[in-house]
Each structure stands twice: as structure tokens, then as C-alpha cells.
Structure 1
Amino acid sequence: MKIALVGIGKIALDQHVPALRASADWDLAATVSRSGRVEGVEAFTEIGAMLEARPDIGAVSLCLPPVPRFAAAKAVLRAGRHLMLEKPPGASLSEVHALQALAREAGVTIYATWHSRMALGVAAAKRWLADKRIESGRIIWREDIRHWHPGQDWILEAGGMGVFDPGINALSILTEILPAPVHLRAATLDFPANRQAPIAARLSLSGGIEADLDFLQTGPQTWDIELVTDAGPMALRMGGNLLEIAGRPVEGQKDIMQEYPALYARMAGLVQDGRSEVDLAPMVLVADAFTMGQRAIVAPFDF
């Protein structure tokens, strides 16, 4: 199936393009970007021009930042093309609800992806937890914004989500593996004095689960979820790619390169089956953090 990739930035070049080139399901037939290109692939600078010129392309994968994504997504669905959304699926919940309605009207697939759910230890963790009682838990998701988003000011603007751009990956895993839903009880969000999105956050969730999210960690990065259950401790490390039971590795490996191939395989299956998949549970927790969280002003941040 022919697919177009919209938004040729770091994540597209690092993850989406290699996954598509290795896929037996997809043919990367066009890109849309103001400046980025993929060698050997027809390039457009406007999504409308691509949709008009390439009626043979049946699906579009959007890698734009959240705020400008909605207009592009609407254009794709109104043109009757299947739509795959990089996380988070939109800048607001209401936008994503509107896109779901448009997809239903057009009779096409919409897939809101959560790449961290495809990490190598997540499915096994979900199976192990299915009959367990969660007693407490801790999320430590700390990474370096300058390494992963160099010079990308949009991520600290209103709608850019700040530390929740990576933090929502942890929440996507948590809401996938837990045997029962969780809700936010309290939060504190640290906003740099010169920015409109948080650089760090602490969340208290139901079930005694605490989350520490930070965008300023240098050196080794930390992407851990640790849970205490009635059957002992369980941890997911390396962003969900390594499962530990009682402190011993039992599933996965230190390899994050399998997540995006799995997403595109899932998208192919949804299109073939005529189904959609939009789970907004991780985004609901983030929205609740912005609604309920205490705001703390911290030192200015500059790249």
C-alpha cells in the first residue's frame, strides 16, 4: 500500500523512514515538509498539493508537532485517505474526537499510535499483571531535551506538551499494562519562566503510583516503571523494552528499534480489516495534569 509521510523531522528520519523501508506492507510514495526530504521519494511542501497530485496514495502518516497537526489530519480524512497519527494524536482531546468522527464519516481507518506500547517487554508485563493487585508504583522518566529535541522551541510552547511529550510514553505503557484504570489525584508542573510548557512534573496517581518526569537529565537516560504487587515487584526498564520480575530480567532486550515497525504492521492490519484504533487514556491523564496541577515557576530555559 502506498503511504505518504508528513513532517520530515528528527523522529521521521530516525524511526518512520527506516520502518517503512523495511516494511513488506508499505511503499513510502511521497513526503510533505517545508524543508525535509527523503532521498528517492517524491517531495511536496503542501499537504493539499500532495493529496491532489497523488490519488493513488491511500494512507498518510502524520509526524507534525501537535498544534499544526489538526488541519493536516482533517485534509487527509476529507480526501478519503487512511490516517496514522504520531503521539500524541492531537493538541487537545476535542480535536481527536473530531478526527474520529471525520474518519467514521469517510469510512477510513484512523490509528492513534503509542510507540512505547510496542516496546519488547510491554505485552509480557501486561500478561503477568493481569491477575495481580497493584500495591504501589513509581515511574521515573528522565531524559535530555537538548539531545532528543535540539532547538525545537515548539515543544515548550503552548500545546507542545513540554516534558509530557516523552512523559506520555510512560503513561501509554502504564495504561496498557495495568489490570484496572488509574486516575490522577494531584500534580505539580514546573514551568520555566520564559516558556509556556513544563520542563518537569510530579504526578500522584490512584493505586499509590507516583511519577517523576524530567526533561533536564544529562548522561544516562532513565525510562523506568516499577510496580509492587501482591506477587512481588515488577519493573519495565529501557522504555518498556526490558521486563524484570523480582529483580531478574525475563523478557525483552535493550533495543528500541522494533517499536515503529510494529506500529506500521498494526496500521496495515487495521486498514485491511476496515477498523480504527484510538485510545486516549494516556492523553486524558496529561490533560488532567494540566487541569489539576499546581504550577511552579522555575529558572528560564534556553537551548
Structure 2
Amino acid sequence: MKTTRNPGIGRRHKDSPIEPIFAHFLLIFRERRLVFREHADCARGSNPAPLGSDGAALYTLLLSWTVTAATHASSLRLALCTLEPEWFDDELPISRNNVDAADVLGMDHISDTTLVHLCGAPRNATVDMYSDGQALIFEVTHPSLIPTRNHIEVRVAPDRQFYVYLKQIHYGANAPAGIGAAMLCRIVRACLALRIGSIHAYAIGGRKTATPKGMQRFLGYYAWPRYGFDGAFGGRDDEPLIAHYPHLPAGVADGSVQSLHQLLDREGGTQFWFVNGTARSVRFEVAVDSRSMLRLVKYLTDKGILDYGF
């Protein structure tokens, strides 16, 4: 299959290896987690340390991160920490269909390992990679874990910046708990290596979405925001719902809560969204200090996943 370079996209940087990037990311996060611990001690009455502007902002973002791995059962922690090596394979072959991924995206080189991370495919999956001339496309099937297919694309925004679009992610009832979060972490690693700045999706499910016969309830509307994806809240579609919640969660009725991140940060916001949430477009910002990344790290930490690579 002949590929067509997306017009107007020049060659960018060389593909960066994943390991050094995440080693650097892990170092940064450990340092900032240490800052948080220092100021948590201050809150308990220890001698205060100067915050500084960056520290103050970080302290505000991380103030609620009080759950540690010690609160989780060791068996749960072990199961989650070993999920990636058990269910994913960096050597997974990809059917390239004569497509040069680097050429399609206007890059010098993209390693096989980065492509395997980018498509988020689990072990023993079949991956077909192709291009329609405008996007690099991965179709992932699996004999037991994926009932239909996962469809992931790398697209170019009007500002000529690359982004990943999760067009369809469908794991079955027999897929292990946490596989969605593990898959997202692998995609984020690839995005960091390739300097792809965001991941987009349409989070389906919720109170307005019917569950097809013989299938599980769609929970993308609830799962993706907890993993760090953000989306608009409080628009026309949400107005009829908001009228029934004049007091809690705080900020819903008066309109001060305008995003899913803000909603989940409020007391009772997560429970409110699980019961009342609806499908919508969401976006994950791939940057070390982004709210998306911090929320994903918090989610992993709360689940007992330590030193996952973030």
C-alpha cells in the first residue's frame, strides 16, 4: 500500500528512546512528591519550608494526595504492578502493509518498541498499521480480550501539531482489571518519545447511552476522566441535570465547575459523575506538569501502582 506524506508537514526530530525520557520523568515526579511531603509535614505542625511560586502551585495541585501504597493490600499492589509485563509485549509484531510510520508522520525514525506502545496493543494481539494519507492508523484485534477491535489514529491538528485519537477502545468482560490504565500509560510513553502533545477520545457511556444486548455497560465516560482526560461540563446538555443538584457537588449549580477535572476535584464529584455522567469529547494533555498527567499518576498511586514509569 503506497503512503502519502501529509502535505505541509516537514521532518521533525529523531525518535527519542522511551527509557531515558521516563527515567527523567520519574526523577522529576519523585522530586516533586518530596516537595509535597515536606509541605504536608508543615501542615501537620512541622517547621515550614519556603514554597516559592512553583512549589506553591505544586502544593495546591497535590494537597489531596494523602493516600499511599501502605493503605493497599500487598496482593492488589503486586497484581497491578505486574499487569504490564504479564499482559503486554514490547516485541509484538505489527503488520505494516508497506507503510513507513516515520514517513507518514514526517519524522526521521520511529522505533518498533515505540510503535508497539503507541498502538496500546496487548500481548498476542494482531496489529494492522496503515495510512489513509492523512493519518497513521492502527487496528488491534485479540482472540479473547477485544470483542471487536481497538482503533487508534495519529492525526494532525489544524495548528499542524500531532495528536493521538482513540477512535474505539473495546475490552471485554474477561479483560483484567486495570488494563485500560496500563494501555494508556504505554500510549503516553510513546507520545512523550515522539513529542505528541495530546490524546483525544470520545468517552462513551453514561445515563443516556443504552447498553447493547449481550454487552457490558460502557464506562468510558467515567474511566477516561479518572485517568486524566478532561472535557467540558455545564453546557446545554448538562443544564437539565444541574437543576436537580442545587447544593452538591459545590460549584455545579452556580456554574463555577466548567470541566470534568474541576468536577472530580470537588467533594462527591466522582460519585456524582458515575451516576449522572454522559458521553462527550475528552482530551489528555501529554506534558510532565499537566493536570492530565498528575491525575493519572494520582490514579495509579491510589491503586497501589508504584514507580510505574511516571
TM-score interval, normalised by the smaller of the two chains:
under 0.3
Give the TM-score normalised by the residue count of structure 1.
Answer: 0.26
Q: Which has the higher strand share?
A: 1
Give the TM-score normalised by the residue count of structure 2.
Answer: 0.25
